[in-house]
Amino acid sequence: MTGNAIATIDRFVAGDWGSTAMRLHLCERRGDEVVPIDRAAGSGVKFCDDFEAAFFDAAGAWFERDGALPVILAGMIGSNLGWVDCPYAACPADASALARHVRRFTARGIEIGIVPGLRCTNIFGLPDVMRGEEVQIFGLLAHPGWPRGRQIVCLPGTHAKWVVIEDGAVQSFFTSMQGEMFEILLAHSLVGRGLPQGAQRRPILADDDEFVKGVRVMIDDPSLATEHAVFAARSRFVTGDLAAADAPAFLSGLLIGAEAFDALGAFGARGIDVDAVTLVGAEGLMPLYALALERLGVAVRMVPAHSASIAGLSALVGAHDRAAAR
């Protein structure tokens, strides 16, 4: 392996290595900007039994060409089922606390850092954890324009996170199951029977009438809970009031409407009045949350998860470089 001192300063490898997929990016700093210039993919943690081999199968060519680039990885790869067990950092946590908890080790002459997840006691007094989303949050916070004071960030997804940030630190967060509930209700419950599955389902858009109807049903009736609403996707279907092709959108509207309504209610019950939420997520999903939040009178800003993730990983590589230089 040949080193190239200049390249190692300008480039690094940033990766999100989760349960189901490994996604690596070769990144290059250009002034204040970080540009992903190449990418590679591999097996997720749960399909992988030799993490070192899998990693170098995916990224090895970059090191062959550019030398011993630093590597920073986040996600389930740092769990007790991953490459190294990297315990959750406790909240409140700012970027420097997260950087201190990055686990560093060397494999085949390459220095690899794995980002810890975060743990907290959430606003309901329950323990909560995240692993992978934290780099997106600190990607936001690394932006020079990020405001001081208290901010609410929502990261929609399979297990959505609602995060309270204050003065650059994650104070606490709680997890919503609605993303995974949507999938398992359609795939495994009576509600999904007779409805299109997987790839047969059309994408749900924020201006889909049935999505909007689901949101409206939930937010217009504070006494309607998720568990009492969901069956309506089935009963409307069997009574001929809802077409099979439209039922997933209605169900999604119910679930996202409930999640947003209940999240704002929970913050409000603690004196946290939310007038704006920053969404960080997939570009197809954020507009659905935005619609529900805007109907609830909340201003929304959307940041693609991918760019927040690169920014966060980049900040952690940077934090390490600065720490090493001291």
Nearer to its own copies, 58 or 229 (CB): 229
CB of 218 to its own copies, least distance (A): 10
Which amino acid is residue 191, in one-letter code?
V
Query: CB under 8 A: which stretch of 118-126, 164-172, 302-310, 316-324 binds its own copies?
Result: 118-126
Give dist(CA 296, CA 258) in Å, integer: 11
Judged by CB under 8 A, the residue of 13, 137, 155, 263 near its own copies is 263
Q: Does 272 bind its own copies (CB under 8 A)?
A: no
Report the alpha-carbon distance of residue 230 to residue 291 in Å, rounded. Answer: 19
Minimum CB distance to its own copies, residue 187 (Å): 7
Distance CA 40, CA 63 (A): 13
* Residue 88 binds to its own copies (criterion: CB under 8 A): yes
Binding status of residue 127 toward its own copies by CB under 8 A: yes
Among 77, 204, 230, 311, binds its own copies (CB under 8 A): 230
8 Å CB contact between 135 and 316: yes
Q: Which residues, in sequence order, are CB contacts of 234 under 8 Å at separation 6+?
A: 190, 191, 193
Structure tokens at 322: 């600065």
Confirm or reject binding of residue 298 to its own copies (CB under 8 A): no
Residues 1 to 60 in contact with its own copies, rule: CB under 8 A? none
Type of residue found at 2: T
What is the separation of C-alpha 32 from the centre of its chain, rounded to a whole number of angstroms?
A: 24
Q: Please check whether residue 293 is in contact with residue 259, taking contact to mean a CB–CB distance below 8 angstroms.
A: no
> Considering the complex, what minimum distance in angstroms separates the CB of residue 22 from its own copies?
19
For position 224 contacting its own copies by CB under 8 A, the verdict is yes
Single out the segment in contact with its own copies by CB under 8 A; choices: 56-64, 127-135, 164-172, 315-323: 127-135
Look up tokens 């067990």; give the residue: 85
Task: Tell which positions 162-201 bind its own copies, by CB under 8 A.
Answer: 162, 174-178, 180-181, 184-185, 187-191
In a 10 Å sphere around its CB, with 0-12 CB exposed, 13-18 middle and 19+ buried, how is residue 275 labelled? exposed
Q: Which residue has the tokens 């279907």?
A: 237
Peptide bond into 92 cis (omega under 30): yes
- Measured from the CB atom, the residue of 264 and 303 that comes closer to its own copies is 264
Q: Which residues bind its own copies (CB under 8 A)?
A: 88, 119, 124-129, 158-159, 162, 174-178, 180-181, 184-185, 187-191, 217, 221-232, 234-236, 238-239, 241, 255, 258-259, 262-263, 265-266, 268-270
